[in-house]
Amino acid sequence: MRTVSSHVVAVATTVLLLAGLISCSSDNDPGTEPTVAATPISEYDATGVTVARADFCDRIPDGAVEAAVGEVEDTGHYGNGESASITDEVEDVAHEFNCTFTGTSGAVARVWVFVPQVTRARAQALVKQVGQERGCRLVDGQGFGTPSTGALCRSKSGAEASYRGLFVDSWLACSLTDPDRKAPAEPALEKAGNWCVQAASAAATE
């Protein structure tokens, strides 16, 4: 009878153990969180989506904020009836719910919803108003509400890409500002679109 040497047995055992370890490592790693691809704004169906005119900042996923501005350095949320800086030059009592996230990179992500109900005629006027702002040009609203519009504005503060529209009777607007005022338009609009879909989904009523 032929005998198998102990050296051969040891090698075979080692190969089997390594194969088992490789197999286990290729399975789901409990330390790895699954990633969820962002929904492009062009694929977001806003038909019939209703938006609550209420505080919703805490419902925005942390991952959506991080994808928009990176590490968050500061927030500037405010609600209806609160005194707030509406613009850099204007401070007033707000009639909207606003969520603002500022990253360490200087990028700023915002989303806000008007408290008063908005009619279709008023929404059309708001779209026209955006196009009249200095340094701004309108782009396709991608069906982000009805009516809707997108815009790319450049100023000393940077390049702001935004989308806004009427969701039934609620006016929702969102923007993403890059501190680089010369940031390329298409990537800026794409990133803003991803942010706006996440923000609108958080504001939508269940």
Model confidence pLDDT, tens digit, residues 142-159: 999 999 999 999 999 999
User: Strand, helix or coil at 34?
Assistant: coil
CA pair distance 84, 79, nearest whole angstrom: 9
pLDDT of residue 38: 75
Q: How many domains does the chain have?
A: 1
In a domain, 71, yes or no: yes
In a domain, 170, yes or no: yes
**Per-residue pLDDT averaged across 7-30, rounded?**
38
In a domain, 119, yes or no: yes
In a domain, 31, yes or no: no
User: Tens digits of per-residue pLDDT, 31-66?
Assistant: 433 344 678 999 999 999 999 889 999 999 999 999
In a domain, 27, yes or no: no
In a domain, 196, yes or no: yes
- What is the CATH classification number for the domain harbouring 63? 3.40.1000
User: Tens digits of per-residue pLDDT, 128-141?
Assistant: 999 899 999 999 99
Task: Find where tokens 């691809």 sit.
Answer: 37
Q: Which amino acid is at 204?
A: A
CA pair distance 132, 137, nearest whole angstrom: 8
Torsion of CA 16, 17, 21, 24, to 10 degrees: 60
